[in-house]
Amino acid sequence: MNRKINLIGSFATDWIRYSDYEYKKSSNTEYIVPTKDAVFSMYNPFNVAEDLLLDLMRIGQLALRPEALNKPEMNLEIKNNILVFAKKYGLFGFISSCVYNRNIIGDEHVLFIENNPVTKEKTMNGKEYIRQFIPFAEEGDVEIKEYKKCVDIVKSEDSPKFYGKRPVVMDLIFSRFYAEQVNWIIDFAKMIVSHFYQLLTYREASGYLTENVTVMTDRFHAEKIGFKINQLDRTTIAWEFDSLKTTIETIYAFVVTDEKIFLSRCKHCGNIFIANSKREKYCSPSCRNCSNVKKTRARKSKAKE
C-alpha cells in the first residue's frame, strides 16, 4: 500500500543526528544532549517524512494522557520515546525556529515568535539566549568569533560546518554541545497532536461549517519557511528549512491536506496512523480483529439479556 505523503516541490535538507543521547540537568532543568562519545550522521528528514511525523505524534499522545501527570512509569515511557526519537532524527533546532532572527549568532537581541515553546518573553539578549542551548559546554568548547563584517563559531570538536552556505547558527545546532529542554519537545509534540484532535472535530462537523475555520490559530503558526526556484529539466520549488521543528510542521500540513492518504486515529487503540482511505478505521489487522471480537461479545451479551 502506498502511504507516502504527497510533498509538492523539491524537499531536501541536510539534518544531523547523533548515535546516542542522554538526559542531563542544569539548574533543575532537564535537557537532552548528545553523549560525549556519540558520532554524527547526516540524513534527509523528507526521506522518512511519514515515520518522523508519526513518531513525534506518538510522544504527544502519551504526554496528553491524564495519567502522564502523576504516573512515574508514564513519564519514563515518554522519556524513552524521546531518546529513541533523537537517535533516529536528531534534535529540533528550537534555537532557530523560535526567533525571527536569521542568523542569531552575533545579534545583540533576539525577537521571539509568538507561542514558541521556549519562552513567553518577546525579546532577549542574544548571548543569554544562546547560553540556554549550550548549558553543559565548558570554557573553550564553543567560541563565537566576531570580525568586522562577519561572525563565526569555533568548536573544539569534529562536527559539520557550512562555511556560509547556511546560517551560522546551524553550526551550533549540529554541535555535540547543543542541548534542548525536554519540556520544549513535549510541549511541541502535544501541540501537534492537539491540533490534529481539533482538526478531527471540525472534520466531523464539516457539513455544518459555512466558512473556512482556522484550526488553533493561536498555537499552530509555522514561521521561517523559505524557498527558491530551481531549474533543471523542469521548474521546481526548492524549500529551505533551518530547523527540524519547521520541517515537521510542513510535513504535517501536507499530510492533513492530502486527498489520497488520510491521517487518522485508530478506532480501537487510539493511535494515530496514515490510512489509504476514509474507510480505513484501524491502524493494523490486530486492532481490527480485536475490535471485531469486542463487537461480537457485545452482541452475544445483549442477546442473552
| Nearest-10 Cα torsion for 38, 43, 46, 52 | -20
DSSP letters for the chain: --------SB----EEEES-EEEEEETTEEEEEE-TT--EEEE-GGGGHHHHHHHHHHHHHHHHSGGGGT-HHHHHHHHHHHHHHHHHH----HHHHTBS-SS-TT-SEEEBPTT-SS-S-SEEEHHHHHHTT-TTPPTTTEEEEE-SS-EEEEESS-----TTSS-THHHHHTSTT--EEHHHHHHHHHHHHHHHHHHHHHHHTGGG--S---TTTTT------EEEEEESSSEEEEEE-S-HHHHHHHHHHHHHT-SSSEEEE-TTT--EEEESSTT---SSHHHHHHHHHHHHHHHHHHHH-
What are the cell numbers at 9? Answer: 516541490
Q: Determine the pLDDT at residue 1.
A: 44
Whether the model clears a pTM of 0.85, i.e. scores above it, the answer is: yes
Q: Determine the pLDDT at residue 23.
A: 97
What are the cell numbers at 118? Answer: 521556549
Strands 21-26, 151-155: pairing kind: unpaired
What are the cell numbers at 20? Answer: 546516542
Q: Determine the pLDDT at residue 286.
A: 83
Q: Determine the pLDDT at residue 210.
A: 67
Closest CA relative to residue 191, chosen from 244, 271, 248 = 248
Q: Determine the pLDDT at residue 130.
A: 94
Strand partners, 235: 231
Provide CB contacts within 8 A for 199, sequence distance 6+.
215, 256
Which segments of the chain have a pLDDT < 50?
Answer: 1
